[in-house]
């Protein structure tokens, strides 16, 4: 039956559809960064509030990624993938007509829910469709789509914001969802097969409460409420772990994390990598526009260098990961990114723009070398029945890392700058915040290199 079905679909067409969907999330995320100063002016929002435009989306993503992966395993991965596209498009359309900052944050949360469903299933669909010998290449193409979104996002975001208004970003996002939905029937039925029957509702409730308390605690860490929320997140974390240990089909794949060294180390490495690199575009967008006086389109053009490098490096790294140890490539990538982040920690108000571009080139090379091989290592370390959970873990570590990266920004901004708009009077405090954050990100990356290398020890462990 499967042989007959294989004649009715094309792996290339499915890969293109999944790749378009994978492009949408990073495109919107990077494009909106260039619109933040304009949004801040329209809604009279301070720097900390502007950070919530990205953070609200990431919060929703982290909450719903693992549930999205489990729903894909239990209800069908294609079904959850397509529902995610619809929800994401709905969030984009609602954002076009928003009239306040609070509504914009709500609609960004809706986008995050849809994005979680897309991200939780996209890699699983690719891993199910392509055999091991071609999987690294296909994952590399998919990863390239992410970096293409990051590449075009700053430039188009700046151009769209400057000439058509920031709402035009969401118009483009909604339109990009159309071809995926139009060709939905191209997905073969076997990609929608159910691998598991049960869904872990207690795990969903506990993980949602845990993530919410953790993120709000970080955002409000200077208050008593923030400290109480962080304490609550620790308690919830212990309860969640114990509950998941005794669930037949846990939301969090505890057994894989405990018994599979490659799976566990690769996921933690991904968490560290994204925690250290995601806020780079956000911070430099503010730096270039506020401190250096660039218009949105010009700032977006300068920020193109990092994701463009990633677009070229990621597929090449994916091909290499099919032939050499992916963990070593990923470790090398994290080390290169650490060098770039250290250079960014030395920025000042007169740093030559050519040096800023060179440092972004290093960060882009490092992230490109890391991502595809690391994802290949994760998907190659589990059985097919765990593809949905593994795909969701990949996306969860990415979004959780992004959330923690922005959480660090919120904490540092709150402590050093307080609740104030970015004006020339607070530029010294802003630069102090920026340098401190890049110092923290550098230290994280250095630690991540050693952790990433550890996965190659006792490689016989795992499946």
Each residue of 402-413: pLDDT tens digit?
778 877 887 888
The band of 1, judged by pLDDT with boundaries at 50, 70 and 90, is very low
Q: What does the alpha-carbon distance between residue 297 and residue 162 come to, in Å, rounded to a whole number?
A: 7
Name the nearest CA neighbour of 397 among 271, 264, 235.
271
Q: What does the alpha-carbon distance between residue 399 and residue 244 come to, in Å, rounded to a whole number?
A: 21
| Distances from the Cα of 120 to the Cα of 261, 268, 438, angstroms | 22, 17, 29
Decide: 360 and 300 in contact? Cβ < 8 Å. no
Fold classification of 2-187+196-200+247-454 (topology level): Growth Hormone; Chain: A; (1.20.1250)
Read off the DSSP letter of residue 84. Answer: H
Is the alpha carbon torsion for 85, 164, 145, 185 positive or negative? positive
Task: Say if pTM beats, i.e. exceeds, 0.75.
Answer: no
Query: What's the mean pLDDT when you consider all of the chain?
Result: 81
- Candidate from 114-118, 139-143, 276-280, 440-444 with smallest mean pLDDT: 139-143
Decide: 172 and 35 in contact? Cβ < 8 Å. no
Q: What does the alpha-carbon distance between residue 276 and residue 270 come to, in Å, rounded to a whole number?
A: 10
Decide: 261 and 455 in contact? Cβ < 8 Å. yes
* 209 pLDDT more than 60: yes
pLDDT number for residue 422: 66
Q: What does the alpha-carbon distance between residue 269 and residue 327 come to, in Å, rounded to a whole number?
A: 10
Decide: 396 and 62 in contact? Cβ < 8 Å. yes
Q: What does the alpha-carbon distance between residue 74 and residue 255 come to, in Å, rounded to a whole number?
A: 18
pLDDT number for residue 133: 67
pLDDT number for residue 410: 79
Decide: 95 and 53 in contact? Cβ < 8 Å. no
Give the SS3 label for residue 236.
Answer: helix
- What kind and span of H or E run contains 76? none
- Most confident listed range (20-34, 383-397, 416-430): 20-34
pLDDT number for residue 106: 92
- Candidate from 66-70, 89-93, 266-270, 435-439 with smallest mean pLDDT: 66-70
Q: Mind listing the pLDDT tens digit for each residue in 155-188?
A: 788 888 888 888 999 999 899 888 888 887 777 7
* 81 pLDDT more than 90: no
How many C-alpha atoms does 408 have within 13 Å on its Cβ side?
25
159: exposed, middle or buried (Cβ count in 10 Å: 0-12, 13-18, 19+): middle
Q: Mind listing the pLDDT tens digit for each residue in 320-371?
A: 777 777 778 888 889 999 999 999 999 988 889 999 999 999 999 998 888 8
Decide: 57 and 112 in contact? Cβ < 8 Å. yes
Q: What's the mean pLDDT in 449-463?
A: 63
- Rg value, the chain, Cα: 21
Q: What angle do CA 140, 146, 147 make, to 5 degrees?
A: 90
pLDDT number for residue 212: 84
- Most confident listed range (72-76, 440-444, 456-460): 440-444
Q: Mind listing the pLDDT tens digit for each residue in 217-232?
A: 877 777 888 889 989 9
Q: What does the alpha-carbon distance between residue 155 and residue 35 come to, in Å, rounded to a whole number?
A: 11
* 138 pLDDT more than 60: yes
pLDDT number for residue 439: 94
| Residues in Cβ contact with 199 at an 8 Å cutoff, skipping those fewer than 6 apart | 67, 70, 71, 74, 75, 249
- DSSP letter for each residue of 320-332: HHTTS-HHHHHHH
Contacts within 8 Å (CB) and 24+ apart, 181-186: 181/82, 181/85, 181/86, 181/89, 183/13, 183/17, 184/78, 184/82, 186/9, 186/10, 186/13, 186/14, 186/17
Decide: 409 and 280 in contact? Cβ < 8 Å. no
| Residues in Cβ contact with 375 at an 8 Å cutoff, skipping those fewer than 6 apart | 123, 139, 143, 270, 394
Q: What does the alpha-carbon distance between residue 288 and residue 39 come to, in Å, rounded to a whole number?
A: 16
Q: Mind listing the pLDDT tens digit for each residue in 282-324?
A: 889 888 888 888 887 788 788 888 878 887 887 788 777 777 7
* 463 pLDDT more than 50: no
Q: What share of the chain is helix, strand, coil (3-state, %, to 5)?
A: 85, 0, 15
Name the nearest CA neighbour of 316 among 149, 168, 453, 143.
143
Read off the DSSP letter of residue 350. Answer: T
pLDDT number for residue 396: 76
Q: What angle do CA 45, 51, 54 make, to 5 degrees?
A: 120
């Amino acid at each position: 039956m499967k042989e007959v079905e294989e004649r009715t679909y094309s792996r290339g067409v499915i890969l293109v559809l999944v790749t378009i969907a994978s492009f949408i999330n990073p495109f919107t995320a990077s494009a909106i960064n260039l619109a933040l100063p304009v949004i801040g002016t329209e809604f009279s929002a301070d720097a900390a509030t502007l950070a919530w435009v990205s953070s609200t989306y990431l919060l929703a993503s982290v909450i719903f990624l693992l549930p999205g992966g489990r729903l894909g395993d239990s209800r069908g991965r294609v079904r959850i993938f397509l529902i995610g596209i619809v929800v994401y498009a709905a969030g984009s359309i609602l954002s076009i007509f928003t009239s306040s900052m609070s509504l914009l944050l709500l609609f960004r949360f809706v986008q995050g829910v849809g994005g979680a469903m897309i991200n939780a299933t996209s890699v699983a669909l690719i891993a199910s469709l392509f055999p091991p010998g071609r999987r690294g290449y296909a994952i590399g193409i998919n990863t390239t789509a992410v970096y293409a979104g990051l590449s075009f996002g700053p430039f188009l975001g700046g151009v769209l914001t400057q000439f058509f208004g920031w709402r035009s970003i969401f118009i483009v996002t909604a339109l990009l969802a159309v071809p995926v939905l139009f060709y939905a029937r191209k997905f073969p039925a076997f990609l929608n097969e159910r691998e598991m029957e049960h869904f872990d509702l207690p795990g969903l409730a506990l993980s949602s409460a845990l993530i919410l308390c953790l993120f709000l605690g970080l955002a409000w860490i200077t208050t008593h409420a923030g400290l109480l929320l962080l304490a609550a997140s620790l308690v919830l974390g212990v309860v969640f772990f114990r509950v998941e240990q005794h669930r037949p089909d846990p939301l969090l794949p505890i057994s894989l994390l405990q018994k599979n060294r490659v799976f566990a180390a690769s996921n933690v490495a991904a968490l560290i990598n994204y925690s250290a690199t995601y806020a780079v575009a956000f911070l430099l967008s503010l730096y270039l526009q506020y401190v250096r006086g660039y218009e949105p389109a010009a700032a977006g053009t300068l920020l193109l260098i990092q994701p463009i490098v990633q677009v070229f490096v990621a597929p090449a790294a994916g091909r290499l990961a099919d032939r050499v140890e992916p963990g070593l490539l990923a470790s090398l990538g994290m080390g290169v990114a650490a060098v770039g982040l250290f250079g960014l920690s030395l920025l000042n108000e007169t740093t030559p723009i050519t040096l800023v571009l060179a440092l972004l080139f290093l960060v882009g090379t490092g992230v490109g070398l890391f991502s595809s091989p690391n994802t290949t290592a994760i998907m190659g370390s589990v059985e097919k029945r765990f593809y949905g959970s593994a795909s969701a873990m990949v996306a969860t570590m990415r979004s959780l890392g992004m959330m923690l990266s922005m959480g660090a920004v919120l904490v540092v901004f709150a402590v050093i700058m307080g609740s104030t708009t970015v004006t020339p009077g607070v530029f010294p405090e802003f630069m102090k915040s920026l340098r401190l954050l890049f110092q923290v990100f550098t230290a994280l990356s250095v630690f991540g290199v050693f952790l990433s290398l550890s996965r190659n020890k006792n490689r016989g462990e795992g499946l």
